[in-house]
Chain A
Amino acid sequence: MRWFNRRSNDDFAAEVESHIEMEVDRLVAGGMSETDARFAARRAFGNPTSAKERFHDARFGSSLESLAQDARYALRGMRKAPGFAIVAVASLAIGIGANTTMFSAIDTLLLRTPAHVRDADRIHRLYIQSLEADGRTYTSPKEGYRTYLAIRDHTPGIEAAAAFDAERVSSGRGADARSLSAVFVTPSFFPLLGVRPALGRFFAAEEERDEGDHAAVLGYAAWRGQFGGDSSVLGRPIDVGGTPYTIVGVAPDGFTGVDVDRVDLWLPLGAARAYMGPQVVDPNGRSYWLEMLVKRRADVSLETLRKQTTQVYQDSRRNEPKFGGDFPKQSVLPGAISAARNPGASADARVSLWVGGVALLVLLIASANVANLLLLRGLNRSREIALRLSLGATRLRVMRHFLVEGALLALFGGASALILARWTTSVLHSFLLPNATRESILDPRLLGFTALVAILAGLLASILPALVTARRDFGTLLNGGRAMHGSTRLGLQRALIGGQVMLATVLLVGAGLFVTSLRNVRSIDLAVDVEHVLYVDAGIGTKRLGSRDRDARASNDAMYMSILESVRRLPGVARATVTAGEPLGSSTAVSIRRPNGPAPVQGQPVPFMHEVGTDYFETMGTPLVRGRYFTASDQGRGAHVAIIDEATAKQYLPDGNGLEGCVYLGDGGCTEIVGVVKNTVLWQVTGDRGTVVYVPLGSWDDLAISMLEVRAKGDPTLLIPSLRQAILATMPDLPWIDIRPIRERLAPQYRPWQLGASMFTAMGMLALCLAAIGLYGLLSYVVARRSREIGIRKALGSPTGGLVRLVVGSGLATTLVGVTVGIVIALAGGRFIASQLYGVSTRDPLVVLIAAGTLTLIATLACLAPARRAARVDPMVALRVD
C-alpha cells in the first residue's frame, strides 16, 4: 500500500468525467447525436457514483472512516450486550487501575527525579558501610559534621557537597503553636541541587552554623498557607522553637529537597543546635545525624568517587581525636539520589516493586478474561461474522473489528481505571507516603503510563480473538449448519481460564504468606501495651539542658510534674508517668556487674539505662517477672534501686534469678535490683531486643524529664484533644505539644507486611473473581451451545445428576489444572519473597491448602449456575431449536 500517494475524490471524479467525454466524442464521431451519445456513455460506464464509491473503498484514507464505522459497530454491539460490556470494562478497569496505583507509588519512591533538581544522575547520597565482626554489613546514611567537612574539602572528584537532616520543629506558643517539618541544610544544599528560590534568597555560606542573625527559608506550601502567598513576607520573623528567625526566601513550588515528604521550613544546619546540642556543628562533635549529598564531576566515574570518598572518610576517622585508630572496615558508598534506592533498599520500596509486579499479573488476568469474553462473543456471533465475510468483508477487516472492540474496551477501562485510581492512589499514598506531596491523578506521567497499560491490555485482550476468529472456517455456518466441532471443545478458552486460575493461585498463596507474616509480626510480644499508650512531648526540653544546670532542670521537672498531675486527673486516662528521654529507644549506656565480678571491659556491649517515673511499668504495660515495680518511695537522689529486664539478668547476672542485693552500675555504688521485667521492644519490632536497666527518675543521672507516657482507657487517639487542652490549661505558654500513640511510632515497621498482605489479598481476590467470572462465562456458553446434545441425552434417559456432574466436572478439571500449575509456580517462586516474610515458610502447607481450597470452592460455585441451567434443559424445547 502506498498511503502517501493518495488521490483525492475530486481527482478521481475528473478522470471519470474525462472518460465519459471521450466516449461521447467517439460515439458522436460514429454518427450518434450528442444527447444519445451522452446517455449511452453514461450507461456504458454504469453508475459513476458507485464507481466513485468503489474507488473510495479501495483507497486507504477510507480506512479511517471505516475505523469509525467499526467503532460505531462495536459500540452498538456493546449496547446490545451490556452485561458483556460491563464485565469486560470492569475487568480492564481493575487491571489497569491496579497498575496505575502501584506506578504512582513506585514512581514517587523510586523513579521520579525530585522536583526542581538538576543533574540528578550526578547527585549521590553517601552511605557509610561497615563490616561488622559477625561478617554482616551495616549501612548507615548518617554521619557527623566532621565527616561532611572532610568530604567537602578533600574529595577531588566532586563539584559540591551538602548535608542535611529533617526534623519536626515547633513554631509559636500556646494555642497558636504549630508543628512544622523542617530540614536543616548546609547553604551548599540549594546550589548543589540547582534549585532557585521562588522569592528572596537561600542561605549564604557564612550562615551555615547559624551563629549570627537567624535566617529561614519558607517552603512554598507553608508560604501560601500561613502567609497567604504574600510577597512582603521577606524580612518578617517566624518563631522556631522560641527563637525568632527572619524569613529570607521562599523555596519553589513542590520542592522537597531530595526526599518525598513536604517541607515547611528550611533552616541553616547550625539551627539544629537548639534541638540536639552544640556538638552537632562542632567539627569534633560526636553526633551522627547528617545525611550527605555530593555532586560528582561529569568526568569522574562512580567507582572513582567511591574510592575517593572512602579514602577521605578513613583519613578523617584516623585523625579524629576521640576515635584514634583505623577504620579499614568502613567504606563510603555513593548511592542514588532517591532514598528508597539506598544500598539496603528500603522495605517499602521493595514491597512496592513486588506489588507492582503483582499488579501486572492482575492486568494479565484481566486481559485474559476479556480475551475469553471476546472469544465467546465471537463464537456467539459466528453466523454474523460468516455473513459479513461472505458479503465481501475481508478477514483483515473482521480482525480489525475485534481490535477496535478491544481498543474501545481498553479506552473505557482506562477511563474507569483513572476514576478508580484517584481513590486507590490516595489510600495507598496515605498509607505508604503519608507526608509526601502527591501528584494529581492527571499528572502527565501517570496519565501516560495509564494510557500505555490500557493500550497493552486492549491489545492483549483482542489479538487472540481477532486471530482465532479470522482463521476459523465459517463455510458450513451459512447453510444452517451448527459448527459443533471445534467450538465446543474450546481448548483455547480453557487454556486462558486455566492460566487465570494459575495466576490467581500464585497471588492467593502470596497473600496467604504475607497475611501469615503480618499475623506473626503482630503477635510478637512487645511487652508494651502498644494499643493504648501515648507519648506526650511538651517540647519544653527543646533547648537541651546542660547537665550541670541544676536550676533549669528543677524548673523543667517541676513543670512536667504539674502537667503529669493535670493529665492524671483526666477521665480517659488510666495511668500516666514521666521519663527522661523516650522509652523503647537508645539512652545512656551503663555497665552492670556484681561487686566481686570482673571489671567491665572497654568495648564490650553494655545495657541501656532508662530513668523512669513511678507507675512507668504499669503505664507501659510491661509485665513483671519477679520482684516488684518501683514505688513512690524509690524516687529521687539516693534511691539505690533498679529494675532490669530478663535479657540483662540472663546476660550480665547469670546463675541467679536477677534479684541481686547489690550490683554496681557504671562507676556508682551498690544498687539493689528489686524487680525483673519482660524484655520490651527496642526500635525494631522484629529486631534484637537489647538489654535495659531501669532506675527511678533523678536517682542517677542528671537527665531532665522530657516526656510523658499516658495509657488511655480506650482508643488513645480520642484522648489527644483533651490531653492537649489539659496541658495548655496548666501551661498556657508551651510550644507545640507532640502527642502520638506508640503504635503510630511503630506503624512504619509493620508497613511492608501490611502492604504485602493487603495488596496481595486485594489483587488475589480480584484475580479470583476474574477467574470465576471467566469460568462462569465459559460454562454458560458451553451449556447454551450444547443444549441440543443435553436435550438428547435427557430424552434418552440420562439422569440430571450426571449432567450436572458433566458440566461441573469439565469446569473443575480446568480449575484443578490451573491450581496445580499455580502451586508449582508459587512453590518455585517462593524464595524470591522469602526475605519479605516473617516466621512463615514459603512452602507453608496450610497457606497452600487454603489458597487451593478457596480457588476450588469459588470455581465450583461458578460452575454450579451453568450446571443447574443444564439440568433444567427441557428436551422438547432443546430439540425444537433449529
Chain B
Amino acid sequence: MSTKTDRERTALLQGTLDLLILRTLALGSHHGHGIALAIQHSSQGALLVDHGSLYPALQRLEASGWIRAEWGVSDNNRRARFYELTAAGRKQLAKEATEWRRLTEAVALVLGPELSRG
C-alpha cells in the first residue's frame, strides 16, 4: 500500500521522471545511476532525481515495454543493469515530449509575464 508522502512524491515526478528517463536513454544505454547523474547534469543541477523513485520508474517503463535492460559492466568495473530504449519507447518519447511542450506552453500563456514575477 502506498503512503501519503509516497503519493506526493510520485505526483510530483511521475509524468516528468518517465519523460526524462526516456529522453536520457535516447542518447544511449545507461545504468540507473548514470541516468540520475545525466538528468542532473543536463538540467544544470536544477532537477535532482530522487534515487529511490528512479528504480520503480524504470521498473514501470520496462513493464510497459518502452525500455529493456541487461546486466553489464560499468566504466569503473562495477556490475550494473543497463537500460536502453525500445522502438515503442522511442515513439512514446516523441509523444510525451510533444505533450509536455504543449502543456508548458499553455501553462506559460496562462501564467503570463507579470504573474510569473510575483
Q: Which A residues lie at the B interface, using CB under 8 A?
A: 1-2, 5, 7, 12, 14-16, 18-19, 21-23, 25-26, 44-48, 50-51, 54-55, 57-60, 391-393
Contacts and interface: CB of A to CB of B under 8 A. Distances in A.
15 contacts: A1-B63, A15-B55, A15-B81, A18-B33, A19-B33, A25-B78, A46-B51, A47-B52, A51-B52, A55-B59, A58-B60, A60-B63, A391-B7, A392-B2, A393-B1
Given A14-B79, A18-B31, A392-B6, 16 more contacts: A12-B59, A15-B32, A16-B55, A19-B31, A19-B80, A22-B33, A22-B34, A22-B76, A23-B33, A23-B51, A26-B37, A46-B52, A54-B56, A58-B60, A60-B63, A392-B2
Contacts of A16: 55
B50 interface: yes
Contacts of A1: 63
Contact of B63 (A45, A58, A392): A58
Contact of A46 (B1, B50, B81): B50
Nearest to A60: B63
B16 interface: no
A48 to B, nearest CB: 7
B65 interface: yes
Given A2-B63, A45-B51, A46-B51, A392 B56 contact: no
Contacts of B80: 15, 18-19, 22
Interface residues of B, number: 26
Given A21-B78, A22-B74, A25-B76, A2 B51 contact: no
Q: For the complex of A and B, list the 5 residue pairs with the smallest distance between their C-beta atoms, beginning with the closest.
A: A46-B52, A392-B2, A22-B33, A45-B51, A54-B56
A2 B74 CA distance: 27
B65 A2 contact: yes
A19 B74 contact: no
Nearest to A52: B55
A622 to B, nearest CB: 83
B32 A19 contact: yes
A50 B9 CA distance: 13
A132 to B, nearest CB: 73
Interface string B64-84: 010000000010101111000
B79 A18 contact: yes
Contacts of B60: 58
Nearest to A17: B79
A360 B76 CA distance: 70
B25 to A, nearest CB: 16
Nearest to A16: B55
B59 A58 contact: yes
B8 to A, nearest CB: 11
Given A19-B51, A45-B51, A51-B56, A392 B78 contact: no
Contacts of A7: 59
A54 B37 CA distance: 22
A755 B63 CA distance: 58
A790 B72 CA distance: 71
Contacts of A23: 33, 51
A7 B69 CA distance: 11
A47 B33 CA distance: 16
Interface in B1-54: 1-2, 6-7, 31-34, 37, 50-53
A448 B2 CA distance: 40
Contacts of A55: 55-56, 59
Given A2-B65, A55-B59, A391-B1, A18 B52 contact: no
A586 to B, nearest CB: 80
A392 B79 contact: no
Contact of B59 (A22, A44, A46, A59): A59
Nearest to A393: B1
Given A18-B78, A25-B78, A50 B33 contact: no
Contacts of A21: 78
B79 A45 contact: no
Contacts of B50: 46
B2 A391 contact: yes
A50 B52 contact: yes
Contacts of A50: 6, 52
Contacts of B59: 7, 12, 55, 58-59
B62 to A, nearest CB: 8
B43 to A, nearest CB: 16
Given A22-B74, A23-B33, A25-B78, A48 B52 contact: yes
A7 B34 CA distance: 21
Contacts of B1: 391-393
Nearest to A49: B52
Nearest to A18: B80
Given A2-B65, A58-B63, A22 B31 contact: yes
A51 B54 CA distance: 9
A14 B32 CA distance: 12
B66 to A, nearest CB: 11
Contacts of B56: 51, 54-55, 58
A596 B17 CA distance: 117
Nearest to A69: B1
Contacts of A22: 31, 33-34, 74, 76, 78, 80
Given A18-B31, A19-B32, A391-B2, A51 B79 contact: no
Contact of B51 (A18, A44, A54, A60): A44
A650 B114 CA distance: 117
Contacts of A25: 76, 78
A361 B81 CA distance: 58
B7 A392 contact: yes
Q: Choose among A16, A18, A391 the residue with the greatest number of B CB atoms under 10 Å from its CB.
A: A18
A571 B34 CA distance: 108
A381 B4 CA distance: 22
B81 A18 contact: yes
Contacts of B53: 46, 51
Contacts of A2: 63, 65
B24 to A, nearest CB: 15
- Which of A23, A54, A57 has the most chain B CB within a 10 Å cutoff? A54
The listed residue with most A CB atoms (<10 A of its CB), out of B1, B53, B55, B78, is: B55
A54 B63 CA distance: 14
A51 B31 contact: no
Contacts of B34: 22
